Chains A and B, each alone.
Chain A
Amino acid sequence: MTFSPNPDAVRTANDAPDAVTFTLGDAVRTVSAVGDAVVGTELGFGLRVGALATAIARRLKLEEPAIDAIGYAGMWHHIGHTGLPLDSPFIDRSARAKEIAAWEAPLAGAAISRATPAIPAAVADAIRWHREAWDGTGFPDRLRWNGIPQAASIVGVARAFLAGTASRVEPREPDEVLYELMNSAGRAYSVGLLRAFRETVMFEPDACAPGAEPALPPLYGNAESARALFARVAHTIDGRDATTIGRTERMGRSIAATANALGYDRAFIERATMLATFVTFGDLAKIAVRDELDPLARMARERRAPEIALAQRIAKRTTTYAPYAPMLADVYEWFDTKRELAIEARLVAVASAYDILSRVIASTSTAASKTLDERIYAAAGTQFDPAIASAFVTELRR
């Protein structure tokens, strides 16, 4: 397995780990794809919203920094949905309860944006209030009129248009959605904004075409900031289900300890941790809380196929993270398969199985620790790489 990250995205200044020369563009795009996945649109939807929103902003002759902020807000407008609780088979939440829960999504998205230093500060507010309505009936704050930041309204109208035309469930003709939005003048959006929006859609069809992307200046940070961003998003995804809170962090710790014990370098640990993060992104294919299947059963592999497929699609969106796609296919593959599996994937496979087992057993039995170790050992050589499984359990005991 060779690993060839995008040369634009690697550290360049003497390979110093904290050098502020890392292009965050691919990380930001990946997070946008995560947002697309969680709201169930095609991957690239966030980029399209960003492209249309920046085109509207240019037509309104906003200043460049504001336009850039609008572009990023469009890309990330839906990222807060990653934190919405999963449906539970045991609790029949009403449509109203789900709607009220969704009011929190823009706030969660704004929090993720605000916690990302490289993202312009104005992006958080545009995400926070992009679902507000001009008349004061939107959410989360029911701001009205000019109290709503213009950037937020622009992102909001771009999202509404593309959500109508690109809906997977019921896609509609652009003219139909345009008509509907123009009819919301004075209620959902201001007359002035809708005028600019209509002109953009009519005269700049490329801005809302499939595959459109906003032209934005590169964001710079260090490599750590990209990892921190992914960790934050993964943490939010883990929080959707009470049983998985902190899962990615736990896996990251056990991966690092095992890799250190086996003598792997820092780059390996970073790759393996990133792989675990992508496994978490794949978790977005799950739309409801469900019983975890025994991770040591072969059936679990098939059951997780949609999750792995989603994680691969997200990874393939950018050249920096595309090399993780084949590794993701290896995560739930068994060691005794005929092909060579990526070592990072072998490590993540053990860490993931252990994490699931520890949660499942913890909820059913108190004498769990020994049983867990035994079960991991028992799968060594068939499901898991025996060297990695052994080191993993040794490190856990330590």
Chain B
Amino acid sequence: MIDLNDSPRRIAGSRLFDILAERGVGSLVDPFMGIPMHLNFLKRHGIAVHGGDVIDWFVRVGEGIVVNDFTILRDSEVGEIVEVLPARIYPVDMFKAWEGVFFTEEQCVYLGVWHANVHNLRSDGQTGLAILGLWFVLCYWLQKATKNDEMPDIPPSELAWQYIRATERWVTQNGRRNTVRRGDYLATLDAHPNVDAMFFAPPRRNALLKPDSRIWMWEAWWQGDPYLNIERYYRDSAFGARMNDDLTYDRALTGVFAKAAAVPTIVVQTEAKEAARFERLLQATGRTTELVAPSPGELYFIAKR
């Protein structure tokens, strides 16, 4: 049984848009983007967005819903992703290691089939949409494993079909160039020196050492390696080290702010207990800070040069 520890943290594009629109921000970079739903929202509302992350499947999803302006999947193409196609040999044992632990035998077979089918897609946009749609399936299955009697049984291909179709609705264009890249924040910020703002929802201390099971599992699926350990992705990154003391965490945060010194506006999303820390660190960079707290769990520091 897997522990689905759902965080109440939310990154809401609409909230961010309210803040950015009020301040006339036209372009934004998020070097720790995660699943870039918020960037998709901002893109739909006309802001040029640039994201970066070290997890590959986040970046692939970004290619589907951030970079991609118009490509969707036709019914036949969705069918070719979700179904076992005749006359093809599939690596059905690829995820056998998860069988009986997280998934049923049938589910593991489908994971192998979908892995092969998605890797067979030629369009980055389509690949991103498919990865995102199938990720919802993974989450559904993991949740169902803990609450089997209260969730309906839905055939895998039907569930996958519904979710991939849902992701298509989010494809949009804003007449601007939007990008995502795989890499640490340093590379992402280097690539976009002229943006109006940086959004930064910092990982909590040691959060990267205990990633959400669904996040690492889907990266493992995408890489085709059920034993993949994504901690190694973070090991050399700013927040990858174990941070048992405040000083190390502060140093990592300061590093991000220093790298973003040329960005006119930094928007930091945090929570009440960390507010004093971020105010202190942002003011130390010589910026004027403003606090926006639309709800008790959401605090935004807007730091301007």
Contacts and interface: CB of A to CB of B under 8 A. Distances in A.
Interface of A: 96, 99-100, 107, 121-122, 125, 128-129, 135-137, 140-149, 183, 185-187, 191, 194-195
Contacts of A145: 6-7
A127 to B, nearest CB: 12
Contact of B136 (A96, A137, A148, A149): A137
B152 A185 contact: yes
B14 A107 contact: yes
A128 B14 contact: yes
A109 to B, nearest CB: 12
B37 A141 contact: yes
B58 to A, nearest CB: 14
Contacts, number: 71
Interface in B2-48: 6-15, 37-38, 40-41, 44
A185 B151 contact: yes
Contacts of A100: 44, 169, 172
B70 interface: no
A146 B8 contact: yes
Contact of A186 (B9, B140, B163, B169): B140
A99 B163 CA distance: 17
B10 A143 contact: yes
B143 interface: yes
B87 to A, nearest CB: 33
B295 A125 contact: yes
Contacts of B44: 100
Interface of B: 6-15, 37-38, 40-41, 44, 136, 139-140, 143-144, 147, 150-152, 163, 166, 169-170, 172, 294-295
Nearest to A147: B10
The 4 A-B pairs with the shortest beta carbon distances in the complex, nearest first, are: A147-B10, A145-B6, A146-B6, A186-B151
A136 B34 CA distance: 14
Nearest to B297: A149
Nearest to B9: A147
> A99, A122, A147 — which one has the most chain B CB atoms within 10 A of its CB?
A147
A131 to B, nearest CB: 12
A63 to B, nearest CB: 13
Nearest to B45: A104
30 contacts: A96-B169, A100-B44, A100-B169, A107-B14, A129-B12, A136-B37, A136-B136, A137-B136, A140-B13, A140-B14, A141-B38, A142-B37, A142-B41, A142-B170, A143-B12, A145-B7, A146-B6, A146-B8, A147-B6, A147-B8, A147-B10, A148-B10, A183-B152, A185-B150, A185-B151, A185-B152, A186-B140, A186-B150, A186-B151, A194-B150
Given A137-B163, A140-B41, A147-B10, A191 B295 contact: no
A96 B72 CA distance: 13
Contacts of A191: 143, 147, 150-151
Given A186-B144, A191-B147, A146 B37 contact: no
B28 to A, nearest CB: 16
Contacts of B10: 141, 143, 147-148
A385 B6 CA distance: 66
A100 B45 CA distance: 11
A140 B172 CA distance: 14
A187 B143 CA distance: 10
A129 B37 CA distance: 14
B72 to A, nearest CB: 10
Contacts of B169: 96, 99-100
Contacts of A143: 10, 12, 37
Contacts of A137: 136, 163, 166
Given A136-B139, A141-B15, A148-B10, 5 more contacts: A135-B136, A142-B37, A186-B140, A191-B143, A195-B150
Contacts of A129: 12
A135 B139 contact: yes
A122 B139 CA distance: 29
A141 B36 CA distance: 11
A195 B12 CA distance: 27
A129 B10 CA distance: 11
B144 to A, nearest CB: 6
Nearest to B137: A135
B295 A121 contact: yes
Nearest to B41: A141
A100 B174 CA distance: 14
> B9, B12, B37, B163 — which one has the most chain A CB atoms within 10 A of its CB?
B12
A137 B159 CA distance: 13
Contacts of A99: 169
Contacts of B136: 135-137
A186 B143 contact: yes
A149 B9 CA distance: 10
B7 A146 contact: yes
B183 to A, nearest CB: 25
B294 to A, nearest CB: 8
A191 B146 CA distance: 11
B196 to A, nearest CB: 21
B153 to A, nearest CB: 10
B14 A141 contact: yes
Given A121-B295, A122-B295, A186 B38 contact: no
Contacts of A140: 13-14, 41
Given A146-B8, A147-B8, A186 B147 contact: yes
Contacts of B37: 136, 141-143
Given A135-B139, A136-B136, A187-B140, A141 B151 contact: no
Contacts of B143: 186, 191
Contacts of B15: 141
Contacts of B152: 183, 185
> B7, B10, B294, B295 — which one has the most chain A CB atoms within 10 A of its CB?
B10
B149 to A, nearest CB: 9
A129 B6 CA distance: 18
